[in-house]
Amino acid sequence: MSKKILIVDDEPNIVLSVEFLMKRSGHDVVTATDGQQALDLLAEVDPDLMILDVMMPRKNGFEVCTEVRADQRFQKLPILILSAKGREAEVKKGLSLGADAYITKPFSTHELVEKVSELLQLKD
């Protein structure tokens, strides 16, 4: 079943890989290269899941996470943080700000795909 995934990351190469992965799993993909752009796109795209980087220009992933959760419409939107910030404290911070899963870079593509489908199932 095709879902809409919003990928937010300022690294084009990682976006390419993740986009390829998601498309191969049969999902539609929209990409954004910074936090602000992601927030702007959100209402228009209305994704089923968001894959979010943390260190980005304009607005970082933590800020985006907080703002998304503050919006009534997107309180149920699954957010998966995919970040190079891998310290335990940062993982905890991400999860407590409302992310549903936190995967640190480098990651296994299988794990990412599995986690995405798991989150999508939970949502349904």
Partner 1 sequence: MVEKWSLRFRVFLFFALISLMVPALLGSALWVAAGRIGPESIPHLVLWGGGAGFAIIGVVLWVWLKFDENVVAPINTLTNDLQTLIHANPEHGVETEPGKYLGLLAPTAREMAAALESARKKVGEEVEVATRKLDQQRARLETMLRDLNEGVLVCNMNHQILLYNRRALDILHYYGEIGLGRSLTSLLNTPSIAHGLENLTGQLEAPESADGLSAHVVCSTTDGRHIIEGQLSLILDAEETEATGYVVTFDDATEKLSELRKRDRMLRDAIEGLRAPVANLCAATEMLTDGVNIDDDGRKMFENILSAESRALSKRLEKLSGDYGEIITGHWPMSDVYSSTLLNCVVRRFESDDAIQCMINGDPVWLHCDSLSIVELTERIIRRIAETTSAMTFELEPSFKKDKIYIDISWPGDVIRSGTLDSWLDESFDDCLKDMTGRDILENHKAVVWSEGREEGVACLRLPLPKAKGDHRNVSDKMPGMDPRPEFYDFDLLKNRESKSFDERSLRELTYVVFDTETTGMEPSNGDEIIQLAGVRIVNGRVMSGEYFDQLVNPGRRIPVTSTKIHHITEDMVKDKPPITEILPKFHDYVGDAVLVAHNAAFDMKFLELKKASCGIGFDNPVLDTALLSAYIHDHSNQHTLDVLAERFGVEIEPQYRHTALGDSIATAEVFLRMIDLMVARGIHTFANAIEVSEKMVEIRRQQARY
Nearest distance from residue 111's CB to partner 1, in Å?
A: 10
CA dist 59 and 33 (Å) reads: 10
DSSP string covering 8-77: E-S-HHHHHHHHHHHHHTT-EEEEESSHHHHHHHHHHH--SEEEE-SS-SSS-HHHHHHHHHHSGGGTT-
Nearer to partner 1, 17 or 36 (CB): 17
Q: Is residue 2 at the binding interface for partner 1, with CB under 8 A as the rule?
A: no
Nearer to partner 1, 66 or 109 (CB): 109
| Residue for token pair 């996470």 | 65
Q: Is residue 18 at the binding interface for partner 1, with CB under 8 A as the rule?
A: yes
Residues 23-52 as x/- pattern, contact with partner 1 by CB under 8 A = -x----------------------------
Q: Is the backbone of residue 58 left (phi > 0), alpha (psi -120 to 50) or beta?
A: left
Q: Is residue 17 at the binding interface for partner 1, with CB under 8 A as the rule?
A: yes
Count of residues binding partner 1 (CB under 8 A)?
20
Q: Is residue 107 at the binding interface for partner 1, with CB under 8 A as the rule?
A: yes
CA dist 4 and 48 (Å) reads: 5
> Could you list the residues that contact partner 1 (CB under 8 A)?
11, 13-14, 16-18, 20-21, 24, 55, 84-86, 104-110
